[in-house]
Structure 1
């Protein structure tokens, strides 16, 4: 089995590549940079692709002839989308269209199955009743990032219904894990804690909104779900969207308290108004029943283990 992963050298991409390789896949990853130095996974082949060049993308697809494409490439920061709207839509929407158009003109059109990656941000302004968000919930994205991902989900339905392309759209909720870059809540908190432990930062941690509740899932469970979605034995949901989430809401305050309990340093907490989002939804809890029904997936890694692993990898860095 051959898999092509766009954005393969990113946080989720590297976990997915390792998972697929360990499951017997031949894995190719795309990058705009023609360098093998960015590839930390030696068994993954890296190929330079510019999706703006449809002819060049078709050539790559015809050469590799992947059985599956996991389209992870894109702008992944909600916060950055507020100040970089055009870049967000170019990365998340336009490049997706160009990839799918290349697939339509390649030799793999009839056999390849494709997974695109959306976000819980597509649901946007959801009420605070506590009802888990299902795939049938009306999309009301409130961030430029969420709007861009909702557009990708609509494109997935279009390419399936119009061209019978075997494609499915995953809507992951908050995913966390070792190696996540700064700009995401667990990575930011953990980095500050480790810097304090090293004596490189005053014993004060700067935070944004702590009351918001989010549905957190370990990245290693996320990539397992992605794999299962393209390997369903029955009940294929081509053209549809599927939530990938734990189904449990955890407050940012609880995340912070848990991380602080894993540190031996005494740390004070202060709120930084610059870290508050222009729009911040108080509650996001996902309904993962569709994913479970389609694949039998269940999260296997608990929150405490994830946070321990995040701190460990940061502490081990010189």
Structure 2
């Protein structure tokens, strides 16, 4: 494919966005990275910025990403995650119709489908169990429809749980890491407050995820529009084991205490994915070990 020259990134200042921009700068050194500065919920502002930027590629990360935040303000979650995505897609169709769009979706959209206990591939039904997942699923489906109806050039990626340095405390491992850092610094008693640690999740290092986005952009023109790709390790890891590994890495004597406020209303015992399609189409698979992931989230 023709190498991208102007890559628009929404959510460039966020947890994933900062790492993604560094990955893109390495993967496409001749390209200009353009962070979207407009409020994604303002269609006129988004359109004006797209018109001025004339991107040939766009990676859409911006969104309400934390499940508790979406649950507390559902209108805002849908305004950002669904309406904001529609604003961006419409602006691209109107002002940069050949632009390649990569949408950062979420494996949380599979929801109740995880109850099979099996690693899910892209054919699994979307069955969200929380507001965040519902808003992301709606955006994912809407983009697929726009590709079919309007010729939107889009790839839809569905990453599983990805972690790394600087992740918000709104996420489980980010919260555990922050608590452990405060304990290690003597700023808090040696008690780690947790939710359900029996749940099993498919964890990825953030560097593996951003590398997948770069590979998807590099191979975009070889893939059918609206292609869906899971990003997963295929290995479920029990949260209790992750916590124990974090504690062992820091070498801390820490008690673990259940905090009812950290329990989710709908929790799936096991959520893991099948990323064979990404391996076949992108040549992608995770390369970071469990210890890499633990060390990264503790930074």
Quick check: TM above 0.5?
yes
Normalised TM-score (structure 2): 0.94
CA deviation vs aligned residue, 1:70-108 (integer Å, no higher than 9, x gap): 0100100112222211111011001111111111210x2
Cα pair distance change 1:17/1:234, threshold 3 Å:
closer
* 2: CA distance, partners of 1:100 / 1:129: 34
* 2: CA distance, partners of 1:206 / 1:230: 40
Q: SS of 1:69's equivalent? A: strand
CA-CA distance at 1:229 after TM superposition: 1.5
Measured on the aligned residues, the alpha-carbon RMSD in Å equals 1.5
Correspondence 1:272 to 2:259: yes
* 2: CA distance, partners of 1:288 / 1:259: 26
1:7 to 8, 11, 27: 11
Which has a greater percent of helix? Answer: 2
Correspondence 1:28 to 2:38: no
* 1: CA distance, partners of 2:85 / 2:221: 27
* 2: CA distance, partners of 1:188 / 1:67: 37
Q: SS of 1:262's equivalent? A: helix
1:69 to 53, 58, 61: 58
Task: Tell me if structure 1 keeps the 8 A contact 2:77–2:131.
Answer: yes
CA-CA distance at 1:58 after TM superposition: 2.7
Task: Tell me if structure 2 keeps the 8 A contact 1:153–1:241.
Answer: no
1:98 to 87, 110, 113: 87
Cα pair distance change 1:80/1:59, threshold 3 Å:
closer
Task: Tell me if structure 2 keeps the 8 A contact 1:126–1:284.
Answer: no
Query: Which residue of structure 2 lines up, in the alignment, with residue 155 of structure 1?
Result: 142
CA-CA distance at 1:50 after TM superposition: 2.8
Normalised TM-score (structure 1): 0.88
Q: SS of 1:105's equivalent? A: helix
CA deviation vs aligned residue, 1:171-220 (integer Å, no higher than 9, x gap): 11101011111111111111111111111111110000000000000111
Correspondence 1:223 to 2:231: no
Query: Which residue of structure 2 lines up, in the alignment, with residue 38 of structure 1?
Result: none
**Alignment length, in residue pairs?**
293
1:172 to 151, 159, 165: 159
Q: SS of 2:250's equivalent? A: coil
CA-CA distance at 1:234 after TM superposition: 6.7
Q: SS of 1:243's equivalent? A: strand
Unaligned runs of 5+ in 2: none
Question: Equivalent residues in 2 for 1:71-150 (5 A)?
Answer: 71-106=60-95, 108-109=96-97, 111-150=98-137
